[in-house]
Structure 1
Amino acid sequence: MDFIAIDFETANSSRSSACALGLVEVKDGVITAEHSWLIDPEQRFDGMNISIHGITPSMVIGQPTFHELWPTVEPMLHGQIVVAHNAAFDMSVLRYCLDGMSISYPSFQYLCTYLLGKKMLPELPSHKLNVVSEHFGIELKHHDALDDARAAAAILVKLMEQEEHYDPLLLSASQGYASGTMFAGGYTPFSARKNKPAKKQGTKHKPSIYSSRATLSK
């Protein structure tokens, strides 16, 4: 039951505008370390995004850029199982930030607690992070990057306990999902099991239903 939970917040609708990052390390189902950073996105802040997460331009003055932060973050992700709630959003933020720096992707597998929750908790009216957290009695300061990552970690543990699967990849497979992957040549999405070709790094990604307001679906 070892994995890393991750959450990004963005300054505007661009996926390359990461302004906050939370990481939570889980060993044997227990949180062993937490990390939180504000990031200077070197981009404008939109009022909509500020209203969601409360991060303002003045708060990121003097904070590291993603390029400066990456050497610290990359070793925490490489070779790990990574989980996010609405991973389509968080993984795209990571990819766009790396694409903007022409840096190769790290290698890891990832899971999405949003999609797992939809499959495993069909009785819920919504599977946003706050709704699933409330269902499991998980305290949450929504749209705080560290708190969101902490909640995603707790949700995955609860889902594993529910199904008595204590390996995140086995849980994913039991629900008919193939883990997403990132690797130096590109990525594959977390999705229902089917054979799909890997997508190449640096390709333009069309907006999905999780697009400019993707943070709202967490």
Structure 2
Amino acid sequence: MNFTAIDFETANSSRSSACSLGLVQVREGVITAEHVWLIDPRQRFDGMNIAIHGITPSMVQGQPTFTELWPLLEPLLQGEIVVAHNAAFDMSVLRYCLDASGTSYPNFQYMCTYLLGKKMLQELPSHKLNVISQHFGIRLKHHDALDDARAAAIILLKLMEQQQQFEPLLLADSQGYRAGTMYSGGYTPFKSPPKKAAKKPGKKRVPLLPAAPFEQRF
């Protein structure tokens, strides 16, 4: 039951504009370490993004860029099972930041608590992080990177407990999902395997009867 949960916040609509990262490590089902960083994206901040997470340009002045921070981050992700809520977003931020810095991708598998929650908690009206957190009684300051990463970690633990599954990848498999991967040559998404199309019943061929012999009538 070991994994690492992450959450990125961005300065603007560009996925390469990471301005904060929260990271929570879980070992044997227990949170053992928490980290949070402010990141200088060297990009503009949009008012809409500031309104969401509260991070301003002045707050990231003097903070490391993603490229400067990466040597510290890489060993925390390499070979891990990485978890995020709406992982498609967080994994794309990671990829865009790595692409912008000309750095090769690490190798790990990843899971999405949003998609798992959508499948396993169908009674909820929404599967946003704050809604699932409220469902499980998780205290959350939404869009704070560390709080969001911690909430994703606890949600996965709750879902595993609910299904009596004690390995993250086995939980994903039990719900019909295949783990996403990131590797030096690219990535694959966390998704359900495509359903095999049902074979259409073929038309039965009716064997031709041999032609009746020609009878000449007089």
State if a TM-score over 0.5 links the two structures.
Answer: yes
**What is the Cα deviation at residue 20 of structure 1?**
0.1
Hey, what does 1:151 align to over in structure 2? 151
Q: Which runs of 5+ in 2 are unaligned?
A: 196-218
Q: State the alpha-carbon separation in 1 of the partners of residues 194 and 108 from structure 2.
A: 19
**What is the Cα deviation at residue 137 of structure 1?**
0.4
Hey, what does 1:128 align to over in structure 2? 128
Hey, what does 1:94 align to over in structure 2? 94
TM-score (norm 1): 0.89
Percent identity reads 77
SS at match of 1:194: coil
Cα distance per residue 1:127-157 (max 9 Å; x no partner): 0000000000000010000000000000000
SS at match of 1:177: coil
TM-score (norm 2): 0.89
Hey, what does 1:84 align to over in structure 2? 84
1:6-45 map, 5 Å? 6-45=6-45
Give the letter for the 1:144 counterpart. Answer: D
Give the letter for the 2:45 counterpart. Answer: F
SS at match of 2:6: strand
Give the letter for the 1:136 counterpart. Answer: F
**What is the Cα deviation at residue 73 of structure 1?**
0.2
Cα distance per residue 1:99-130 (max 9 Å; x no partner): 11111100000000000000000000000000
Verify: 1:73 aligned to 2:82, yes or no.
no
Cα distance per residue 1:54-107 (max 9 Å; x no partner): 000000000000000000000000000000000000000000000111111000
SS at match of 2:41: coil
- Structure 1 ranges of 4+ moved more than 3 A: none
Give the letter for the 1:19 counterpart. Answer: C
SS at match of 1:37: strand
**Count of residue pairs brought into register by the alignment:** 195
**CA RMSD of superposed structures (Å):** 0.8
Q: State the alpha-carbon separation in 2 of the partners of residues 84 and 57 from structure 1.
A: 25
Q: State the alpha-carbon separation in 2 of the partners of residues 43 and 173 from structure 1.
A: 39
Q: State the alpha-carbon separation in 2 of the partners of residues 193 and 170 from structure 1.
A: 15
Give the letter for the 2:105 counterpart. Answer: Y
**What is the Cα deviation at residue 194 of structure 1?**
3.4
Asked which structure has the greater CA Rg, the reply is 2
Q: State the alpha-carbon separation in 2 of the partners of residues 192 and 56 from structure 1.
A: 38
